[in-house]
Amino acid sequence: MMARTRGGTAVFASYNVHKCVGVDRRFDPARVAAVIAEIGADVIALQEADRRFGDRAGLLDLAAIERAAGLVPVKVTNGHLGHGWHGNLVLVREGAVKRLHQIRLPGLEPRGALVADIDLTSGPVRVVAAHLGLFRQSRLLQVEALLEHAGESTDRPVVLMGDMNEWRLRKRSALSGFSPVFGPLGSGVPSFPAYFPVLALDRVLARPHALIESLEAHETPLSRLASDHLPVRAVVRLDPAAVAAAATPAPRPRLRPKRPLFRRLAEGEQRLGL
């Protein structure tokens, strides 16, 4: 397990476990659990933690994850045998869940998101965990829905994470809808495909942006094998002083007032001896 952070910070991670099927096409939940333990997260959002069809059963050994990583699931209501909500599962270490909202996201495919208010030892936070759709028009609608729910009735800092199925950041990118509320968008790290990551599909974003101290893909021999995505790991400050400072806009620079045009013309004439 990776070293824990200092006081006032917490480690957040996002990991698409690909239904526990690795790049070698082996179904191996124990391997995924070992990667989760490697990360050393305080909060981790998992995607594709359940079968998508049939009984939609959960695919992970949650008891083994708790033993190895000290993480327990945020319990959801889903009406089937799955661990999560539309495959989304949030695991937490040493935190109390105060509120949970399960959202159905719009789009052509059945998608959902979890919004959880959690009191961690490092401070209170709202966690938004999502797996966006494969189609751009669906992602545009889903980003809009997440923005509506993420900041609703809360003064908590917000950490939004998941597989965004989008790597572009230009004008047509669905992710541009998160700006300027969530960020930093420009600091994404390649996480897909795991064996040779070139696309930044997986994101950890925050509101305010400045709370994210560092962001990296968790790349180890095991993580390159266990899923087709690498986990993404961020260190986030949650102590009240950092949250207040990050939420306070930087003072605008004081500009020297411009002189009226007629005065500038008169001074120019004087210099030229006119």
pLDDT digits (tens, 9 = 90+) for 48-106: 999 877 677 899 999 999 999 999 999 999 877 788 999 999 999 999 999 999 999 99
Strands 158-163 and 123-131, by their bridges, are parallel
CA separation for the pair 261, 138 (Å, rounded)? 52
CA separation for the pair 95, 234 (Å, rounded)? 18
pTM of the model: 0.87
pLDDT of residue 180: 87
Query: 253 or 24, which is more confident?
Result: 24
pLDDT digits (tens, 9 = 90+) for 160-202: 999 999 998 887 899 999 988 999 988 889 999 999 999 999 9
DSSP state of 98: E
pLDDT of residue 55: 74
CA separation for the pair 189, 198 (Å, rounded)? 8
pLDDT digits (tens, 9 = 90+) for 120-152: 999 999 999 999 999 999 999 999 999 999 878
Token output for 57: 């059963």
